[in-house]
Amino acid sequence: MSQLSLKQISHAYGTRHIIDGLSLHLDKGDIGCLLGPSGCGKTTVLRCIAGFESITGGGIILNGQTVATAGQLVPPQQRKIGMVFQDYALFPHLTVAGNVAFGLHGMGKAEQQQRVTEMLSVVGLANLAQSYPHQLSGGQQQRVALARALAPQPAILLLDEPFSNLDVELRKKLSEEIRTILKSQQMTAILVTHDQSEAFAMADQIGIMQHGRIEQWDTPYNLYHRPANRFVADFIGEGVFLPGQVIRHDLLEIELGEIRGTMPETCCLGCTADVLIRPDDILHDDASPVKAKVINKAFRGAEFLYTLELESGDQVLSLVPSHHNHAVGEWIGIRLEIDHVIAFQR
């Protein structure tokens, strides 16, 4: 069942067009994410959904109700929206329980207390109900903020860079935990971030934004393996583009060998295409006749990410199990093992 639809929405600050005919759709219980470079308009989209900004074109439909069109705006407090921000925004003078109860006015005392207990148990903080925010860690404070936002059972939850004040390890853990909590509540949510691993850990659908538009709205898997254009291919994951000759409509040749797969229509026979090579497409293989020189290496625990120079001078990346510890300057054997072609016209 559809919970949120943005239909060709536009927004301008004065004469500056920030959002330009942007559409997306979420069903109930879906977690969406807007991911893109700084300034592309992610927060502005969130503010339009919340009702803090009006739109200059298109429409926003939330839970079956049109909440915004050009010139018409349902005020934020009538939209049943929950929000979680990066700075937690907890009330320092209220206990954890008091913070969670804050949005529950209009409810009987006993019912309110029951809801607070239930939400604190959902976020795993039942034992901290009487603590104050300053007595909690950053991750715990963010879970209180989440419980507070979920308590009034909003139609949708908006999360604006919710983990950016936390260290990398905690971010990863908390994004997985919060996804589990949202799914357990069947809560529809939109997350804004510029951290790809956060987006991948949390979202069912991700919109890659550039200049106020969504370049591709898709699952994390498809964004990585089937990027719709060069911008998305560049933005998502790691990799390099190598020149390739289009030999047939289903065959390309690059320096490292032939690649089979369906070519995009824009790549004509005989043309040179730019072929995306991910680090997991290049395997280290001592027996391979193809050699490459180690230019750089980054230790990642289980793996090294090697930057390798081919004979032509072009560079590729390769993820290699970290017990293969080669020195910079060394030539190592590599083999191309690529599942499908991602190529764009030059």
Ligand X SMILES: Nc1ncnc2c1ncn2[C@@H]1O[C@H](COP(=O)(O)OP(=O)(O)OP(=O)(O)O)[C@@H](O)[C@H]1O
Contacts with ligand X by CB under 6 A lie at 13, 18, 36, 38-44, 194
Tell me how far, at minimum, the Cβ of 324 lies from ligand X, in Å.
37
Q: Residue 267 CB: number of other CB atoms within 10 A?
A: 21
- Give, in order, the Cα–Cα distances in Å from 94 to each of 87, 89, 90, 166, 195: 16, 12, 8, 22, 32
Q: What is the DSSP string of 7-52?
A: EEEEEEETTEEEEEEEEEEEETT-EEEEE-STTSSHHHHHHHHHTS
Tell me how far, at minimum, the Cβ of 258 lies from ligand X, in Å.
41
Tell me how far, at minimum, the Cβ of 126 lies from ligand X, in Å.
34
Report the residue number, 60 or 242, with the smaller CB distance to ligand X.
60
Report the residue number, 11 or 148, with the smaller CB distance to ligand X.
11
* H helical segments located in 153-263: 168-184, 196-202, 220-225, 230-235
Tell me how far, at minimum, the Cβ of 13 lies from ligand X, in Å.
3
User: For residues 230 and 345, what is the distance between their CA atoms, to the nearest angstrom?
Assistant: 9
Q: Comparing C-alpha atoms, which of 97, 165, 82, 93 is closest to residue 127?
A: 97
Residue in the block written with tokens 């510890």:
325
Report the residue number, 39 or 321, with the smaller CB distance to ligand X.
39
Report the residue number, 43 or 245, with the smaller CB distance to ligand X.
43
Tell me how far, at minimum, the Cβ of 52 lies from ligand X, in Å.
10
Report the residue number, 210 or 245, with the smaller CB distance to ligand X.
210
Tell me how far, at minimum, the Cβ of 159 lies from ligand X, in Å.
13
299 and 313 Cβ atoms separated by less than 8 Å: no
Report the residue number, 155 or 208, with the smaller CB distance to ligand X.
208
Structure token pair of residue 288: 């391979």
Report the residue number, 194 or 278, with the smaller CB distance to ligand X.
194
Tell me how far, at minimum, the Cβ of 331 lies from ligand X, in Å.
42
Report the residue number, 42 or 148, with the smaller CB distance to ligand X.
42
CB contact set of 98 (below 8 Å; sequence gap of 6+)? 91
Residue in the block written with tokens 């950016």:
164
Tell me how far, at minimum, the Cβ of 201 lies from ligand X, in Å.
18
- Give, in order, the Cα–Cα distances in Å from 170 to each of 139, 140, 167, 181: 7, 10, 6, 16
